[in-house]
Structures are given as C-alpha cells and as structure tokens.
A and B are shown apart, each in its own frame.
Chain A
C-alpha cells in the first residue's frame, strides 16, 4: 500500500496522516498516563524525598507526627534514616527472610506450575484437565480466607496435628513459621502462574515438539531443549510477577508468619503504624521497590529477547 502511494506521489500526505494519527493515539493514552502519574508517580516522589529528609511541603505533617525523623543535612538530603534501618538487626533479619521466602516460594510455584502445564501439554487426558482446573481454584478464594484455612490446617490445634496425634505422631506446628508463609505464598500465587505458564506451553506448536522427537530426542530432552526455551517468556513473566507479589505480600505473612523476623510487608506496616517511624518505614519500602525493580529488569529483558527472536524488533 505504502509503495503504491509512493508511486502515485502521495507519500507526503501519508506521512502527515501518520504523524497526525500518532498524535491522536498519544492523546488517547494521555488520561491513563496522567492518572498513573498523579496517583502513583507523585506519591512515590514525595515518599522518596521524605526518606531523604525533606520534611517540608507535603511531608510537613507526617514529619511532625512521626518519631525519629531525620531532617536533611545537605542540599540533597540525608541518608540518616537509611543508616537507621541498615543498623537495625531486625531489618536485616526481615530482609533475609523476605528474600529467602520469595526465592523459595517462586521456585516452588514455577516448578509446580511448569510440571502441571507440561503434563497437560505432553500427556493430556482427563487427569491433566482435572488437575489444571483444580489448580486455579485458589484464584477465586480471597487471600484472607486461604490464610485462615492454612492456619486451621497446620496450626497447633489444626487438622494435621490432630490427625497425626491420633496415630501417635507429633506433627510439627507450621503456623507462625516461615514454612507457613511459603505454603501460603505458593497457594495464593500458583493459579496465576499455572494460567500464564500453561498458555505459554500450550502455544508451543505440535510440529516443533514432534520434530525434536523425530531427531531422536527423549521426552526430557524435548522439554529442556524445546518446550521450556520456547515458553521462556511466559515462565519469566510468571516468575517475576510471583516474586514481586510475594516480596510485597502482607496478609499471608501477617496471619501465618512468625513475629520476628517477619516479612518486610508486615514490618513496613509495623514501623509505620505501631512504632510510628514513617521515615524508616519508607526506607524499607524503597528497598523492596529496588529489589522488585531488579526483577522487573529481568521481565523486560525477557520480553525484548523474545521480540528479537520473533523478528519484531
């Protein structure tokens, strides 16, 4: 079409139309952009300046109410609140727990979701369908209900301990431990990951799997060299979203986790509300934000790589 227009000498008008339509497109996307900027971007900026000791303007009231506030000592601010946080052994313990729970839960979620997706793709049948359907049920159960269900199942007076006590086995109490947070996190994160990874694995064409088999590859080889690399982007997306979600989770660690150390989501809330230390709370939030940004970079890299492979860029 474009070459036809060029031949008829209408390229210029096409270019003008193109530029006009791109402006129109930009105008259409402006309202949500402004909304995100107003409700997310500006609060982030204000919060960040407060963590650096900018206590005037929109931060004036919270600076008066909060305790252990460090006003800025240089034109760019101060790292005093950051120093507070990193010298607090509670925070270091919380950070380690948060990272460990996030890593372990994410790996478990991806492994389970991938196993179900591969079973569904390569074996199929009624069992696979039932399993895939059951595995997304938690998506429809509110997190607080799930947390309570896990509590009554694994708690000191829960089902598991009662059941095993009847046969003379002392089953450990898992609630108020990091294990319970992992169980809860896997339970709540699994459905989304299964949906995401299943769609990625299902999208691998039959012919690509069959051609690998035709070349002599065993099922394991087909999975490791063809299916997983081709479904890499949805796997990374599912992993990124799962990790970011778990890292900032609140309900599950609050209901099921230990008091100390605890996940940073709970600790941020404690510092903000119970301890009235909003500046330190914001510092912790930015540390979580930085860690999540690292995961987001992985997500973007994966998307770019996929686009390059498919010749889109």
Chain B
C-alpha cells in the first residue's frame, strides 16, 4: 500500500464544485503517477481551470478529495500545499527583480542567504536566464517572463507542478519553443505536472496523457494517440483533430440514413483517379494547401467530405474516387465500433 502511495503523483476523487449556484465540476476522478505529465484539455467554461485551482488550493471542493503524493491536502490552503503553479499571465511581481522573484518562496521558507542564492542560480540556470537575474520582469520578453515563472515554481521543488495555460500569451513560434523547453525540463526533473490548456495541439504534443473535459466532467483520459485514434465519445472525436461527421450508417463505403453517427478522420479518406473497391465518385470543390499536406473538399452523392492528402493532389472540378479507410461509429454519443 505504501509503495502504491509513494508512486502516486496526484489523485482526485469525487471532486465537486459549485460556483454561483452552478455546478462547475461534477464527481470528477483522476489519478496520475509520479513524474507523469498530463493535460486538462477542453473549451472555455468546461471546468479545467476550476479543477486546477482546486488542486492548487485556491478553491476548496464542495465534495471529494485531493491527494498529492498520497497525502490528503483537500482542506489545506495554497500556502500549505506541496504544489507550485505557473499562472497564465506569469504573475511575476513587477517591483522585484528576476532573482528576487525566484528567491521569494525560499525566503518565505526561511532558507539562509547562501542556500537561497545557490538555489536561485540553479533554477535560473535551468531556464537559461542567469543573464537576466537583475532585470525587472517588465524589461524582459514574454517568453523570458514565462521562464522566470517556471523557475519560481521549480525552485520550490514541488510534488506537483501546475501550469495554467502557460503558453497562451506567446506567439506561435515562441510557443513551440517554450513548449519543448517545458517538456524537456519536466522529463529531466521527473516532476509530476498538470497543464491546463484549450489548445489540443499543445496538449497532444506535450503530455503523457490528456484528460478531455466537457461540462465539468472528464470525457476521456488517455494517451494522445489513443485519444485521436479511438475517441471514446463523439465529443472527444469532434474536439480532438478534424472529423467528417455524418448522421447515418456506413454500408459498403457509403453513408446511408440511420440512427448512428459516423466519424471519419480526413486522413482516413483515400483519393484516387481510378475506381477501386468501395470507392465512390465525387467532384473536387476546394483544394487548400496546408503546408506539408493538402486539404481537399469533395462532394459525393452521400455527402461532403474533407480529406487530407499529400500523394494524389487533384484539381478543383476534377472527378475523383473516395474510399473510406477507417471510420468511428457512435450511438448516443458513445463509441460502439
């Protein structure tokens, strides 16, 4: 039992939170292993930030428990929890220098000057910001501020690192770089990490597992590949990646009327200029270059399909044959085949 608890990074059991008379989180369960990195992914208002704030201690759940490294911290305030948070807008104190920002939690803990200085230097070295230690946060770039916030969290050596939409204020290029930096640091330090994001690309590329949230509940908690290839619910299928969605049944490669919902990933459509098994004819309506692949919109007699291809690139107006390689079938929103 002790071994299990020692290996436990974070455990949420039956979490519930009501805010302003509205149920925000309903009976939420989640557990993650020590050293794992997970994402809470969902649209605005799905309850992911509320969940993170309950883990951090800024909100006390109305029901349920929060355990960090096997220890129940449900009723502890944020100052007493073994977690550290990186805020969406970094929350660096503008009246303190970078090194004072990072040293703050150590001073609060009462560490000596020499030890504090050593740890601050190590943390700033970790995020490659030693040259900015005497700068004010207002004088450094957004990406650098983000790294200072990360250093301030890491210097606390928390059991759980919490990241609240840490990349949302960065431009696309910087976001990718910082994302890789965070992942690399997390792997190197083996720190249990929860990241909140509404950006599916960010969640899928950075996490060991992703919890897709909807209306205060976790729809599916799985690894990125599984989420994409085997979305357990129709919501997850439409939320993660692109999807051709049809109401009806799939019979011999054709959508016919029926009670199911059929989902087809655009890359699961095979285009060709020649007729082959189960391929049905269609006319190309749109061809959009998407960098390393093309998005092709084809009208078939049973519907309009969006396909991703980088092999056969037809022209607009061209007649092509479309074959459905793989599909997902949902009944009442649940995956049945």
Q: Identify the A interface with B (CB < 8 A).
A: 205, 207-208, 210-218, 221, 225-226, 229-230, 232, 309-311
Contacts and interface: CB of A to CB of B under 8 A. Distances in A.
16 contacts: A208-B93, A210-B85, A211-B152, A213-B77, A213-B79, A214-B56, A214-B78, A215-B104, A216-B79, A216-B80, A216-B108, A216-B156, A217-B79, A230-B95, A309-B94, A311-B138
Interface string B81-113: 001110111011111000000001100110000
Contact of B105 (A216, A232, A311): A216
Given A210-B58, A309-B136, A311-B138, A215 B152 contact: yes
Contacts of A216: 79-80, 105, 108-109, 156
A216 B152 CA distance: 12
Contacts, number: 67
A311 B139 contact: yes
A134 to B, nearest CB: 27
Contacts of B94: 230, 309-310
A205 B104 contact: no
Given A210-B87, A230-B94, A218 B139 contact: no
Contacts of B77: 213
Contacts of B108: 215-217, 221
B87 A207 contact: yes
Contacts of B57: 214
Interface of B: 56-58, 77-80, 83-85, 87-89, 91-95, 104-105, 108-109, 136, 138-139, 152, 156
Contacts of B152: 211, 215
B83 to A, nearest CB: 8
Contact of B87 (A211, A218, A229, A230): A211
Contacts of B105: 215-216
Most buried by A among B85, B91, B139, B156: B91
**Central interface residue in B56, B83, B105, B108, by most chain A CB within 10 Å:** B108
A233 to B, nearest CB: 10
A310 B89 CA distance: 16
Nearest to B139: A311
A227 to B, nearest CB: 10
Contacts of A215: 79, 84, 104-105, 108, 152, 156
Nearest to B87: A207
Chain B CB within 10 A, most for which of A216, A221, A232, A310: A216
B140 to A, nearest CB: 10
Contact of A309 (B79, B88, B89, B95): B95
B138 A214 contact: no
A207 B56 CA distance: 13
